[in-house]
Amino acid sequence: MISDERYMRRALELAEFGRGKVSPNPMVGCVIVLEDKVIGEGYHQEYGNAHAEVNAINSVKNPDLLTDSTVYVTLEPCAHYGKTPPCAKLLVEKKVKKVIIAAFDTNPLVGGKGIQILKDAGIEVETGVLEKEARIQNKRFFTQIEKKRPYVILKWAQTQDGFVAREDYSSKWITNASSRRLVHKWRAEEDAIMVGKNTAKYDDPALNVRDWVGKNPLRLVIDSRLELPNTLKLFDEAVPTLCYNTQKSEVIGTLEFVKLNPEFRVNEILEDLYKRNIQSVIIEGGSYLLNKFLESELWDEARVFTSSNKFGSGIAAPIPPAPVSETIEILEDTLRIYHHV
């Protein structure tokens, strides 16, 4: 059991290399072991390309060794034809001896079918090794499948005395450069990023990845009555952008206007994002929008930076209705992470 966990931890480490590159697929890692020695490794590197099991099998120098090998994989092997052939059938074809799986795939297209294919072929199957860790790693994937909405991350920066902006909505910069660089790393790891009208108007954010290497997330802005000027960076068509409003539906280049019902409800936006196969979204403000998600209880995680700065007065920061899960010091800033249970 100890060695099983050791090899599965290595598979989880490998899976991490796919973060920000494989959505809406899950991150998956795979390790192939023969006589307590690793003979192959692989992970899902990019959406649409080979899965972890394929890459791990291809890395084995002598394919004849596979028939006596144990395969460790962080998620149940797929059983359907999608962008690639089913991995469960590949493992059967290679006649591996045993497959150890961390987490059951709750996607209805798989949902135990991969395990059944393996068992029907006489392959020994074991499940649940580091299952909790595997589900946490793929919490975005499981949230999308099981809750039928994206994984929602709330993010804001506040002063030591609890304000996200001054009374005139100015706020640059509350946090230090290291904290801002971390935020850009987060952006590269998620599918989409959202702001409300006031944040778009007063901060004029680009919502892209400038201080990190990675893909730009889909940009989302809420402008119910279409009052924002088209000179804002959000409307520069440099990055695909959705503008949620109550006036019209229209597509202009990479900018899409999405008409909503007159009464603003965050769940309607999440339903639209789910239909678009968006697996995760960061809500970066402002305070009104963040509170809407908190009040609706449609959030999974909150990441709150508190700086040493003080405003004295201004726009009050939201209050997360959950205990702190983790505290990280970033120079003079403090990052607190909350999870919605």
Active site residues: 53
Instruction: Check if the beta carbon of residue 200 is closer than 8 Å to that of residue 221.
Output: yes
127 annotated among ligand-binding-site residues: no
How far is CA 337 from each of CA 163, 207, 300, rounded to the nearest angstrom?
18, 21, 11
> Is 210 among the annotated ligand-binding positions?
yes
Is 36 part of any known ligand binding site?
Answer: no
Read off the DSSP letter of residue 279: -
DSSP state of 235: G
Terminal C-alpha separation, the chain: 30
Q: Is 284 labelled as part of a ligand binding site?
A: yes
Q: Is 157 annotated as a binding residue?
A: yes
Nearest to 234 by CA among 247, 252, 249, 248: 252
**Residue 68 φ/ψ, nearest 5 degrees:** -110, 10
Tally of CA atoms within 13 A in the half-sphere of 264 that contains its CB: 13
Q: Is 64 annotated as a binding residue?
A: no
**313 appears as a binding residue in the annotation:** no
Is 9 part of any known ligand binding site? no
87 is in an annotated binding site: yes
- Ligand-binding site membership of 51 (annotated): yes
Annotated ligand binding at 78? The verdict is yes
Dihedral sign of CA atoms 276, 282, 283, 284 in order: negative
Contacts of residue 178, defined as CB under 8 A and 6 or more positions apart, other chains included, come to 330, 331, 333
Residue ranges for the known binding site are 51, 78, 87, 157, 171, 173, 187, 199, 203, 207, 210, 224, 284
Residue ranges for the known binding site for substrate are 171, 187, 203, 207, 210, 284
Residue ranges for the known binding site for Zn(2+) are 51, 78, 87
Residue ranges for the known binding site for NADP(+) are 157, 173, 199, 224
